[in-house]
Amino acid sequence: MPEQLTVGVGAGARHLGVDRVVDLGPLHPSAHGAYRLRLTVRGDADDPVIVDAEPLVGHLHRGAEKLFEVRDYRQVLTLANRHDWLAAFCNELAVALAVERMTGMDVPARAQWLRALLCELNRLMAHLVFLAPLTRAPSDTAGTAAALRGREAVQAVLEEASGGRIHFMFNRIGGLREDVPAGWTERVATAVSTVDIDLIEAHAVTDRLAGIGVLEREAALALGVTGPIGRASGVDLDLRRDDPLPAYRDLDVRPVVRTEGDALARVRCLVEEARQSVGLIAKCLERLPGGPVNLRLPKAVKAPEGSVYTRVEAPLGTSGVHLASRGEKTPWRLKLRTPSFNNVQALSALLPGTRVADLAAVLGSFAVVVGDIDK
């Protein structure tokens, strides 16, 4: 085994013939939250290559699952959108679905279609957040400006509907908290029309991303990687098609799947999924029925004794909830299956062989939210 030397970032060491173990983090600009990457690099100091990578998480531990156990189901929903702040609506929905399925609730059709519409708005907003920094160039800010304008427009209509800018808290057991405001659907159509996917794609999709940070399909499957990261490596799984909610059954969702598995494929998947969400939003607006958006519930909602597992396609992948109940108004156990927790482990598989000079570009293509990891 080669001799190892541990150095800090920026230490300026130029050691030849030894492996250097570099701690990147726990704060660095390529993640939504604080986590560390322990990198072992080898080779000439002018162009070192990563030979081993270990993501170290836990700096943002939230204890969400224990907090759920001492809160009733209405209160749980206010916490369920916080571990992945870019997938707030989808995470609320996964918890609401678990209780609804255990109690056999028949959620009104308008609520079902609004849920699909809001999930796609949430997905579009999240993808634009990740794409914005990928469009930056010293001499041309048009792509970044387009991504930021689009994100702001989508976030504004989400805020108008829910009253929350980040933590929406709009789902309720049995539907939604209330109906959307008058004229909101027209404003959604206007907001989505301002998202210039072509311009964003022109600036985010660059040849310098090709062939770097490759995640093989077998490694993605072994680690349970889902969402655009998994689909960029050939994992053909999208719950909007494979385990659809009622509204999605009529939307004919066709997953964006690529086989290259590199940084360029991941960025292309984000771009194409954002484009796909624009189309799905238009279809939801066309088919949105009238009627109520929630059910009348007793003062205390209680799930019957038993357990259930529900899952939804969140922006970064499969967001699942395993609910175990003893028939009380609080869950006995509520376990989260979060996409970023599985996905971040893939860094140990895709980073070896990457030049340190390419590290920022690879990490930029690898979308995770650290609260979703540490939950």
pLDDT digits (tens, 9 = 90+) for 9-61: 444 445 445 688 888 878 665 567 788 899 999 988 788 999 999 999 888 77
Omega before 26 cis (within 30°)? yes
**Using only C-alpha atoms, what is the Rg of the chain?**
22
- pLDDT score recorded for residue 46: 82
Residue position matching structure tokens 């066709």? 254
* Surface-to-core class of residue 306, CB atoms within 10 Å of its CB (0-12 exposed, 13-18 middle, 19+ buried): exposed
Instruction: Round to whole Å and give the CA distance between 88 and 315.
Output: 10
- pLDDT score recorded for residue 10: 45
Of the candidates 250, 222, 247, the one whose C-alpha atom is nearest the C-alpha of residue 346 is 222
Hey, what are 211's tokens? Answer: 């062939």
Instruction: Round to whole Å and give the CA distance between 260 and 212.
Output: 10
- pLDDT score recorded for residue 332: 96
- Contact between 269 and 256 under an 8 Å Cβ cutoff? The reply is yes
- pLDDT score recorded for residue 13: 43
Instruction: Round to whole Å and give the CA distance between 180 and 182.
Output: 7
Residue 153 falls in which region: left (phi positive, over 0), alpha (psi -120 to 50) or beta: alpha
Task: Note the CATH number of domain 64-374.
Answer: 1.10.645.10
Vertex 80 angle, CA 76 and 84, to 5°? 165
- pLDDT score recorded for residue 58: 84
Hey, what are 204's tokens? Answer: 């985010």
Distances (CA, A) of 191 to 85, 185, 186, 195, 363: 21, 10, 9, 7, 30
Q: What are the extents of the domains in the chain?
A: 4-56, 64-374
Spans of the chain, pLDDT less than 70: 1-18, 27-31
Residue position matching structure tokens 């250097």? 20
Of the candidates 149, 153, 108, the one whose C-alpha atom is nearest the C-alpha of residue 290 is 108
**String of b and e for 238-273 (b: at least 16 CB within 10 Å)?**
bbbbeebbebbeebebebbbbebbbbbbbbbbbbbb
Give 67-115 pLDDT, tens digit per residue: 999 999 989 998 888 888 899 999 999 999 999 999 999 999 999 999 9
- pLDDT score recorded for residue 16: 45
